[in-house]
């Protein structure tokens, strides 16, 4: 529950990480079943913690997409019923817009000088590595936000690469936080991973896109990413350096520790493994940094906003802040609590739509491939 896109009264998260960890990745059927099981209890808890009642709500906001169809459907069906029952408007929000507005909400709350527009937003998570140029049609509360996609991954997302490489090295799930902690113990210059230039792909004619917003053509320079190459490079390194047996020993040792944390893994990693992890992170963060700052410069952005699960990465935060300071460009991150998926960010993104009267009708549907801009 959030007031005026600004003050968080309650932000209850029912994490499914422990459930999916057993499978090494998200299992869609289990995800929607858990949503169904949790949604009523989570909303009740949020209302209780806020000190208000459901009757005090002015609107209900819900994620329209992108995401897993089953999970989206549970949220939308519940939100529609709740809004209808309370007689308040329903607002559909793009999940990615939520990540961006979580940062803006917190930056306003810190009473910093407001981030000036346009902003360059990097959304970097397990499903996305996307760059958007974000601006308002009219500055002020009622100004509708507009987003222009100026870069995206052509294959794996950065968080996905982290998770796959962690799995390959016998570490826990999700792999990002493990890699982040272990990278600090290795030499980032040990293995020189390279990123090639990504050529923009022409829009493929004849490919029908699943929603009306998906077909937006991109104009101007494009700053795309690719992370599947570095994943393959790590695999090749592991093979050519005969690291497989040590990896299997580590995997088995961690499986014996159900509550294992990254700190437990340090003793299970030799120097070569720690160097490999540090070098992987150095290359990935460097690539994110180069593309993001180049895009900011090309589009005349006045600030950078980084969000999504990978925005929790310590090296990413350090390097983005240092480069921002060097260029005199403000860089904002969400607090750790708001960097992974949460409901407060959806309410924050809904506020400008509420002010502008942009409500969803009965026709609001789950849109798994929904794009922003």
Q: Does 172 bind ligand KG4 (CB under 6 A)?
A: no
HEC profile of 264-289: HHHCCCCHHHHHHHHHHHHHHHHHHH
Rg of the chain, C-alpha, whole Å: 21
| Binding of Zn ion by 11 (CB under 5 A) | no
User: Segment 328-347, which members bind Zn ion (CB under 5 A)?
Assistant: 341
Round to whole Å and give the CA distance between 179 and 186. Answer: 11
Count of CB atoms within 10 A of residue 212's CB? 8
Residue 98 binds to ligand KG4 (criterion: CB under 6 A): no
For residue 126, state whether it binds ligand KG4 (rule: CB under 6 A): yes
Residues 67, 140: Cα–Cα separation, whole Å: 30
Residue 225 within binding range of ligand KG4, rule CB under 6 A = no
180 binds Zn ion (CB under 5 A): no
Applying CB under 6 A, among 66, 92, 118, 127 the residue interacting with ligand KG4 is 127
Residue 47 or 312: the one with the smaller Cβ distance to ligand KG4 is 312
By the 8 A CB rule, do 8 and 350 touch? no
Work out whether the CA dihedral 249, 242, 273, 232 comes out positive or negative: negative
Report yes or no: 34 and 52 within 8 Å, Cβ to Cβ: no
Which of these ranges, 20-28, 117-125, 346-354, 357-365, lies near Zn ion under the rule CB under 5 A?
117-125
Contact 224, 198 (CB under 8 A): yes
Residue 289 interacts with Zn ion (CB under 5 A): yes or no: no
Judged by beta carbon, residue 68 or residue 171, the one nearer Zn ion is 68
**Cβ at position 174, least distance to ligand KG4 in Å:** 4
Q: Pick one of ligand KG4, Zn ion, none as the site partner of residue 174 (Cβ within 5 to 8 A by kind).
A: ligand KG4
Scanning residues 247 to 266, which ones bind ligand KG4 (CB under 6 A)?
A: none
| Tokens 């529950």 sit on residue | 1
Q: What is the pattern of x (binds ligand KG4, CB under 6 A) and - over residues 295-334?
A: -------------xxx-xx---------------------
Which of 285, 280, 258, 282 lies closest to 269 in space, CA to CA? Answer: 280
DSSP 54-90: GGG-S-EEEEEESS-HHHHHHHHHHHHHHHHHHT--E
CB 126 to ligand KG4: min, Å: 3
Q: Please report which helix (H) or strand (E) contains residue 154, including its range.
A: none
Residue 162 interacting partner from Zn ion, ligand KG4, none (CB closer than 5 to 8 Å by kind): ligand KG4
The only residue of 156, 224, 289, 341 in contact with ligand KG4, by rule CB under 6 A: 341
Output phi, psi for 365, to 5 deg: -130, 160
Q: Taking contact as CB under 5 A, which single stretch among the options 44-52, 125-133, 227-235, 310-318 is the one that binds Zn ion? A: 125-133
The stretch near ligand KG4 (CB under 6 A) out of 174-182, 255-263, 289-297, 327-335 is 174-182
Whether the CB-CB separation of 173 and 21 falls below 8 Å is answered with yes
Asked if 156 touches ligand KG4 (CB under 6 A), the answer is no
* Least separation in angstroms between CB 273 and ligand KG4: 17
Torsion of CA 272, 273, 274, 280, to 10 degrees: 110
Q: Judge contact between 102 and 342, C-beta under 8 A.
A: yes
Measured between alpha carbons, how far is 282 from 192 in angstroms, rounded to an integer? 9
**Which of 132, 147, 162, 299 is the binder for ligand KG4 (CB under 6 A)?**
162
CB of 355 to ligand KG4, least distance (A): 26
| 372 contacts ligand KG4 (rule: CB under 6 A) | no
- How far is residue 108's CA from residue 296's CA, in Å, rounded to a whole number? 21
Q: Which of residues 179-198 bind ligand KG4 (CB under 6 A)?
A: 180
Give the residues lining the site for ligand KG4 (CB under 6 A). Answer: 125-127, 159, 162-163, 174-177, 180, 308-310, 312-313, 340-341
């Amino acid at each position: 529950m959030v007031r005026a896109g600004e003050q968080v009264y309650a932000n209850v998260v029912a994490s499914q990480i422990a459930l999916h960890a057993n499978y090494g990745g998200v299992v869609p059927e289990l995800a929607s079943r858990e949503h169904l099981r949790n949604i009523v209890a989570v909303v009740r808890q949020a209302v209780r913690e806020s000190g208000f009642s459901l009757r005090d709500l002015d609107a209900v906001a819900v994620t329209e997409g992108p995401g897993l169809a089953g999970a989206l459907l549970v949220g939308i069906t519940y939100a529609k019923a709740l809004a209808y029952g309370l007689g308040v408007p329903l607002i559909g929000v793009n999940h990615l817009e939520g990540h961006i507005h979580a940062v803006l909400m917190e930056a306003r709350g810190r009473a910093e000088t407001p981030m000036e527009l346009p902003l360059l937003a990097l959304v970097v998570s397990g499903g996305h590595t996307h760059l958007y140029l974000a601006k308002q049609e009219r500055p002020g509360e009622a100004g509708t936000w507009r987003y222009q996609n100026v870069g995206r991954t052509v294959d794996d997302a950065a968080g996905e690469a982290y998770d796959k490489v962690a799995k390959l090295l016998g570490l826990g799930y999700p792999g990002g936080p493990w890699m982040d902690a272990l990278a600090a113990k290795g030499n980032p210059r040990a293995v020189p991973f390279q990123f090639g230039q990504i050529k923009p792909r022409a829009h493929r004619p004849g490919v029908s896109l699943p929603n009306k917003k998906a077909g937006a053509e991109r104009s101007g320079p494009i700053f795309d990413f690719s992370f599947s190459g570095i994943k393959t490079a790590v695999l090749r390194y592991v093979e050519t350096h005969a690291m497989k047996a040590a990896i299997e020993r580590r995997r088995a040792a961690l499986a014996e520790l159900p509550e294992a944390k990254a700190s437990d893994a340090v003793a299970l990693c030799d120097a070569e493994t720690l160097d490999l992890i540090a070098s992987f992170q150095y290359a990935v963060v460097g690539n994110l940094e180069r593309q993001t700052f180049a895009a900011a410069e090309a589009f005349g952005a006045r600030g950078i906003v980084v969000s999504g699960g990978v925005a929790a990465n310590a090296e990413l935060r350090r390097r983005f802040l240092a480069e921002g300071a060097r260029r005199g460009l403000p860089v904002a991150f969400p607090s750790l609590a708001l960097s992974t998926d949460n409901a407060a960010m959806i309410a924050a993104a809904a506020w400008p739509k509420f002010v502008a009267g942009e409500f969803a009708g009965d026709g609001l549907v789950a849109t798994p491939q929904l794009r922003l801009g």
